[in-house]
Chains A and B, each alone.
Chain A
Amino acid sequence: GEDVEQSLFLSVREGDSSVINCTYTDSSSTYLYWYKQEPGAGLQLLTYIFSNMDMKQDQRLTVLLNKKDKHLSLRIADTQTGDSAIYFCAESIAYNFNKFYFGSGTKLNVKP
């Protein structure tokens, strides 16, 4: 199957860490992506991880992948008000590379 699930909302205080979680069902995923969407805008790629990796770090962003549990997370360190947005995880499937499957998005609200 191609279900990608995320919790809908997350609220944190400025300066705290945010952890956004995602689960997927298709074990043939090759790449998993995190996108950010600001209000009224398109999606911007934040980072991605290849399915044979466990972790990837990029400045304030850390992606963790537990392939056994099909669980992906995005940690944002020192969260800022400018990080308030909707975050989507997406997977690319080995047997149908032309399709991207997106989660429903997690709305991150950062309080001052």
Chain B
Amino acid sequence: DGGITQSPKYLFRKEGQNVTLSCEQNLNHDAMYWYRQDPGQGLRLIYYSQIVNDFQKGDIAEGYSVSREKKESFPLTVTSAQKNPTAFYLCASRMGQNTEAFFGQGTRLTVV
């Protein structure tokens, strides 16, 4: 079955540590996205990638980094520079222009 998979579902991080969230898709989609969701708020775009080895900053990229070495994978690293990283992170992928986005089930990151 085709789909988009995020792991882990829950992640705990100590202050000052970097953590990496995984996002894998087998839909053969070119575009991939990372969003952050805070309670009572909509989705805010962190980074997106249109094609392998290319990615662009979204609206809240500070304190985050990404890579796109393979079409199927778009990992997100939350660095220690991110001041308030506790949130629900959603990954999405899309075939191209004017097509729907498919979402993973999300990763809830908590800083302890």
Contacts and interface: CB of A to CB of B under 8 A. Distances in A.
B33 A100 contact: yes
A98 B58 CA distance: 10
B105 A41 contact: yes
Interface string B76-112: 0000000000000010101011101111111010000
Interface residues of B, number: 27
Nearest to A41: B105
Interface residues of A, number: 24
Q: Is chain A's interface secondary structure helix, strand, loop, or mixed overall?
A: strand
Interface stretch (A13-21, A77-85, A101-109): A101-109
B45 A99 contact: yes
B43 interface: yes
A33 B100 contact: yes
Contacts of B100: 33, 45, 48
Q: Is chain B's interface secondary structure helix, strand, loop, or mixed overall?
A: strand
B103 A98 contact: no
Interface string B26-42: 00000101010000111
A98 B42 contact: no
A103 B42 contact: yes
A91 to B, nearest CB: 11
A63 B77 CA distance: 38
B48 interface: yes
A90 B90 CA distance: 15
Contacts of B50: 98
Contacts of A104: 40-42
Nearest to B104: A42
11 contacts: A33-B100, A42-B103, A45-B100, A88-B43, A97-B97, A98-B48, A99-B48, A100-B94, A100-B101, A105-B41, A105-B42
